[in-house]
Structures are given as structure tokens and as C-alpha cells.
């Protein structure tokens, strides 16, 4: 984040604490990744502002958890309706801070009403273990307390509201912290919805690098729902251990796609191109390594390259842009480093790999690599950007072993004759696998990773239950003392 003339930037963004907009005591710049200009200045939440938000959330908790679930559901649905009513303005603001094309920003913002609508129809079940003349034994799902939701910069709104909506419906109060790279749309949403909920039920705090650790170690917070990188996830877990906070960790991935003979080359290439390069490759479950069988390697690689040549990378606010810039300078430099590493090691580029210097914006061209070594950085590291290694195989068992031989296990995909492909899907050590399609996240599907991709799940009823704890009550039906 750079320094700028504060007179030129929009400083109207406020924190949401205890139901009121609260001005920042200090601010930081938010940069448009397509132009490198300042979009706005976000409040940099201080320690005492965080304490005030935690105190407000704690105070609001007892009334909110006692509010009938139907009322909580209605208020969460109303939040969704309010966001939907402002989707155009919010999406344009999101494009300016995140970089994605406006049509994609509409999807990201639109996910908030979607998740609010979904959660507002869910009621946690009661498990009856015994209902007899002797006793009633039942487990109820009750809220945990004050939840802190921490989001990344790739899907700032979708990732926030698939935590916030179920957390609120379940009866928790919430502190939402967007990424410092993309806080503005979330803060704007805070201003729009602040009167829907009782004060303190939802607080929105933007801040710099200190704010996340302050939250994850704060004794007044009971649960952390975190989405971000595996490295940060480890720090969150360590910090949360001090007070034994409940955790849901949605972390990084290095998803493998396995492409078998017998595919429709053109149709599969189109789907996999979207799987790898959608959101400029900045998707946790993007296809990040593609293992392609020898028999189809060349036609498949050619088809992907053709799609890459047609794709337009540019400013997301301009008509006709398919893929925006990489979201921030740090990630841009990381990706340039990966490309430089591939050049230095003599990897064969089928497309891209050249970064224009001297221009504004964090633009990386669609880049496709031809069979780099398995131990190269571009295969072993999560790139989180528009650089894709294609890896040739002739023995599917070896390809499966390689797909599984990483520390992370978020998602994966298999492409080929359905029965054979599905059998392979069962052997992938990941939370989710798609067969001949990619990325569907139906409400009934639990979404979550294995290994160092985190633990806990999001989505639908499974996601709602993550924001509850069991409360088992056994009542004797014999008269007391009898």
C-alpha cells in the first residue's frame, strides 16, 4: 500500500462498530490493480476500536442468540436483499479495488444475496436420542458466541458472506475483517446494512497487518472462520490456541487435473481453461497442475493455447476484458518470480511468459508451460495466478501419486470416460473432486480441504453447523426425588 495525497482519495469509508459508522483515526490506501491509482482510503482499525467492536459483539450476543431463529433468518435475508438492490454500484467499486471484470464482480457481489438467501432457509436440527417415559435426551445446536470472519482478496464478498450469513443465522455475533487489499466494497456494504441488525450483531473492521493477529488472539472472540493462505492459516491456528478458539480454516490448494485419453479435446480444453484461468487464476480450487495423457497431450495443449491466444487480459472496467490484472503488487512480484524461475531453468513456454515493463497495472499474460519437471517451483508451489504447467504422463497410477504428493489437498478434477474418471476421483486425497466438470458448489455439498488445505467445511447445513456447538440435555421424566 502506497502513500498518496489524501486530498485526492475517497476517505468516506467507515468501520461498522456497534451499529454505527465509525471514522478511521488513521487510514491506508487501497490501490486499483489495473491502474495503480488509489481507489480510496480505508480506516486502519486501532486496538481500542477492535476492543470496542468485541465489547459490542459480546453485549449483543445474549439478545441475538435468544432472538427466534425465524427473525434472525429474516434479517439475514434482508441483508441479502439490500446488497442485491445495490449490486451495480457495489460491483463497479469491487472491480476498481479487486481488478476482476465487472461481470465477474457482479457474480462475486451476487454471492452475498445468494448465501444470505440460502442460510435464511436453514434451521439446525435437534437430535433426539431418547424420548421415553423415563427421559428425554436431546442434542441442540447452539451458537458459539463472538465469531471473527477473516477474508482474502480473491473473492472479497463471496468469501465473507458465506461465513457471515450462516454465523448470524446460527445466533452468533460477528466481526468481519476483509483483506487490506480489498476492504472498500465490504465497508460500503456495512454502511448499507447497518440498520437491519441490532447494534453490535455485525461489525466490520478494516485494518493493516496487525489487525488479524489482534483478532485471532483476542480473549473476547470465541471462533475464527478464516480463508487465506496455508502459511497464514498456521499462524492463525497458533494464535488461536492461546484461548482455544474454535477454528474453520479454508486454506490454499495446488489442485491437480488429470486428463485421460477418450476425451472430447475441444470441450474439455474449454472447461479446463476456465478452471485454470478464471479470476486470473486466483481461485483457491483452480486447476493448478494439469496431468495430460501422452495420447492426447499435443491436441489438448494446442487447444488450450488457442483459447489463451483469444483471451483478453486487461482493465476489468473496460468492455471486452476477459481476465483482469493480478490483484496486488506482492502477488504480481511472486508470479514474475515464478516465470523468471521457469525461464532460468529452461522450461518450454507454449504461451505467455513475457511481462511488458514500463506499463501501469499488475498484468500477467495467460502463460502455459510444456511439461516442466515435477520438482520445479511452478508445479510444487501454489501459483495463484494465470500460469499453468501441463505435465505429460503415460501411467495413470504415477499421475495419481504425483497429484497426491503435495502437502495440500483442497480439490481436483478428472477428465475422461466417466467410470474410469470417477474411479480415479476416489483415489485423490482432496476434499472435493470434480469429474468432467469443474467447480460446482451446490448448497448441499460440504466445501473444505484435507491436509494443509485446512479443516472444517463451508456451505449449506454443514457450513451452518460449523457456527454451532452441541448442547446435550438429558431430562429425567421421573419426579425429582422419587
Task: Please choose, from the candidates 285, 167, 154, 153, the residue with its C-alpha nearest in 3D space to the C-alpha of residue 225.
Answer: 167
Q: Which is nearer to ligand NAD, 64 or 214 (CB)?
A: 214
- The single residue listed with the C-alpha cell 478434477 is 413
Q: How many CB atoms lie within 10 A of CB 215?
A: 27
Asked if residues 472 and 137 have their Cβ atoms less than 8 Å apart, the reply is yes
Single residue of 14, 44, 97, 382 touching ligand NAD by CB under 6 A? 382
Residues in Cβ contact with 191 at an 8 Å cutoff, skipping those fewer than 6 apart: 14, 16, 21
Task: Give the chain's length.
Answer: 482
* Per-residue contact flags (x/-) with ligand NAD for residues 141 to 180, judged by CB under 6 A: ---------xxxxx----x-----------------x-xx
* DSSP reduced 3-state for 153: coil
Q: Is 116 a catalytic residue?
A: no
Q: Which is nearer to ligand NAD, 171 or 183 (CB)?
A: 183
- Alpha carbon distance 205, 116 (integer Å): 20
Site for ligand NAD in 223-282 (CB under 6 A): 227-229, 232, 235-236, 250-253
- Dihedral over alpha carbons 237, 155, 183, 212 (to 10 degrees): 0
Cell output for 451: 491436509
Q: Which is nearer to ligand NAD, 363 or 384 (CB)?
A: 384
Asked if residues 274 and 287 have their Cβ atoms less than 8 Å apart, the reply is no
Asked if residues 15 and 24 have their Cβ atoms less than 8 Å apart, the reply is yes
Helices (H) and strands (E) in the chain, counts: 15, 22
Given the residues 14, 97, 250, 466, select the one marked as catalytic: 250
CA distances from 292 to 30, 397, 403, 410 (A): 40, 13, 12, 20
- Alpha carbon distance 116, 195 (integer Å): 16
Single residue of 117, 198, 199, 213 touching ligand NAD by CB under 6 A? 213
Pairing of strands 255-259, 412-415: parallel
- Find the angle CA(239)-CA(241)-CA(243) to the nearest 5 degrees: 100
Q: Which is nearer to ligand NAD, 61 or 214 (CB)?
A: 214
* Per-residue contact flags (x/-) with ligand NAD for residues 324 to 363, judged by CB under 6 A: ----------------------------------------
CB of 328 to ligand NAD, least distance (A): 8
Cell output for 413: 478434477
Q: Which is nearer to ligand NAD, 101 or 411 (CB)?
A: 411
Number of residues that bind ligand NAD (CB under 6 A): 28
Q: Which is nearer to ligand NAD, 38 or 211 (CB)?
A: 211
CB of 100 to ligand NAD, least distance (A): 14
Task: Please choose, from the candidates 246, 273, 249, 245, the residue with its C-alpha nearest in 3D space to the C-alpha of residue 259.
Answer: 273
Interface with ligand NAD by CB under 6 A: which range of 106-114, 210-218, 270-278, 355-363? 210-218
Q: Which is nearer to ligand NAD, 200 or 228 (CB)?
A: 228
* Per-residue contact flags (x/-) with ligand NAD for residues 435 to 454, judged by CB under 6 A: --------------x----x
CB of 29 to ligand NAD, least distance (A): 15
Given the residues 284, 306, 333, 382, select the one marked as catalytic: 284
Cell output for 465: 453447523
Q: Which is nearer to ligand NAD, 38 or 221 (CB)?
A: 221
Whose CB is nearest to ligand NAD? 212
Single residue of 216, 280, 321, 459 touching ligand NAD by CB under 6 A? 216
Pairing of strands 246-250, 454-455: antiparallel
Residues in Cβ contact with 29 at an 8 Å cutoff, skipping those fewer than 6 apart: 1, 2, 3, 4, 9, 38, 41
Residue 392 lies near ligand NAD (rule: CB under 6 A): no
CB of 332 to ligand NAD, least distance (A): 12
Q: Is 250 a catalytic residue?
A: yes
User: Which residues are part of the catalytic machinery?
Assistant: 250, 284
Q: Which residues are at the interface with ligand NAD (CB under 6 A)?
A: 150-154, 159, 177, 179-180, 212-213, 216, 227-229, 232, 235-236, 250-253, 284, 382, 384, 410, 449, 454
Amino acid at each position: 500500500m502506497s502513500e498518496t495525497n489524501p486530498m485526492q482519495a475517497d476517505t468516506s469509508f467507515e468501520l461498522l462498530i456497534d451499529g454505527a459508522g465509525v471514522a478511521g483515526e488513521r487510514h491506508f490506501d487501497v490501490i486499483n490493480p489495473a491502474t495503480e491509482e488509489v481507489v480510496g482510503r480505508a480506516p486502519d482499525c486501532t486496538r481500542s476500536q477492535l476492543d470496542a467492536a468485541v465489547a459490542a459483539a459480546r453485549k449483543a450476543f445474549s439478545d441475538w442468540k435468544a432472538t427466534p431463529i425465524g427473525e434472525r433468518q429474516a434479517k439475514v435475508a434482508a441483508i441479502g436483499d439490500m446488497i442485491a438492490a445495490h449490486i451495480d454500484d457495489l460491483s463497479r467499486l469491487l472491480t476498481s479495488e479487486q481488478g476482476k471484470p465487472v461481470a465477474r464482480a457482479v457474480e462475486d457481489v451476487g454471492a452475498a444475496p445468494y448465501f444470505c438467501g440460502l442460510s435464511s432457509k436453514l434451521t439446525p436440527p435437534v437430535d433426539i436420542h431418547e424420548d421415553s417415559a423415563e427421559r428425554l435426551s436431546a442434542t441442540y445446536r447452539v451458537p458459539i458466541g463472538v465469531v471473527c470472519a477473516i477474508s482474502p482478496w480473491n473473492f472479497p464478498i463471496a468469501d465473507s458472506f458465506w461465513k457471515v450469513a450462516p454465523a448470524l443465522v446460527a445466533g452468533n455475533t460477528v466481526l468481519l475483517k476483509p483483506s487490506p487489499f480489498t476492504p472498500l466494497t465490504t465497508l460500503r456494504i456495512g454502511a448499507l446494512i447497518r440498520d437491519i441488525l441490532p447494534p453490535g450483531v455485525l461489525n466490520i473492521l478494516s485494518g493493516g497487518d496487525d489487525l488479524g493477529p489482534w483478532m485471532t488472539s483476542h480473549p473476547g472472540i470465541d471462533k475464527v472462520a478464516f480463508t487465506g493462505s496455508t502459511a497464514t492459516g498456521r499462524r492463525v491456528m497458533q494464535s488461536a490456541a492461546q484461548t482455544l478458539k474454535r477454528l474453520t480454516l479454508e486454506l490454499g490448494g495446488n489442485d491437480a487435473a488429470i486428463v485421460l485419453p477418450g476425451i472430447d479435446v475441444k470441450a474439455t480444453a474449454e472447461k479446463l481453461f476456465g478452471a485454470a484461468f478464471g479470476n486470473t487464476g486466483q481461485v483457491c480450487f483452480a486447476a493448478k497442475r494439469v496431468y495430460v495423457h501422452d495420447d492426447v497431450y499435443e491436441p489438448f495443449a494446442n487447444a488450450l493455447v488457442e483459447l489463451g491466444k483469444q483471451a483478453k487480459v486487461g482493465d476489468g472496467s473496460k468492455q471486452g476484458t476477459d481476465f483482469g490484472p493480478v490483484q496486488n503488487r506482492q502477488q504480481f512480484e511472486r508470479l514474475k518470480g515464478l516465470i523468471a524461475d521457469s525461464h532460468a531453468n529452461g522450461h518450454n513456454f507454449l504461451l505467455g511468459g513475457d511481462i511488458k515493463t514500463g506499463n501501469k497495472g499488475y498484468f500477467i499474460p495467460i502463460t502455459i508451460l510444456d511439461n516442466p519437471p515435477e520438482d520445479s517451483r511452478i508445479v510444487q508451489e501454489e501459483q495463484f495466478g494465470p500460469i499453468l504447467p501441463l505435465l505429460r504422463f503415460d501411467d495413470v497410477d504415477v499421475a495419481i501419486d504425483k497429484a497426491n504428493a503435495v502437502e495440500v489437498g483442497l480439490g481436483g478434477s478428472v477428465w475422461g470416460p466417466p467410470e474410469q474418471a470417477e474411479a480415479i476421483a476416489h483415489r485423490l486425497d482432496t476434499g472435493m473432486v470434480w469429474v468432467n466438470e469443474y467447480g460446482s458448489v451446490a448448497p448441499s455439498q460440504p466445501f473444505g480441504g484435507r491436509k494443509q488445505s485446512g479443516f472444517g467445511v463451508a456451505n449449506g447445513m454443514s457450513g451452518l453447523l460449523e457456527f454451532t456447538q452441541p448442547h446435550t440435555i438429558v431430562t429425567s421424566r421421573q419426579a425429582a426425588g422419587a
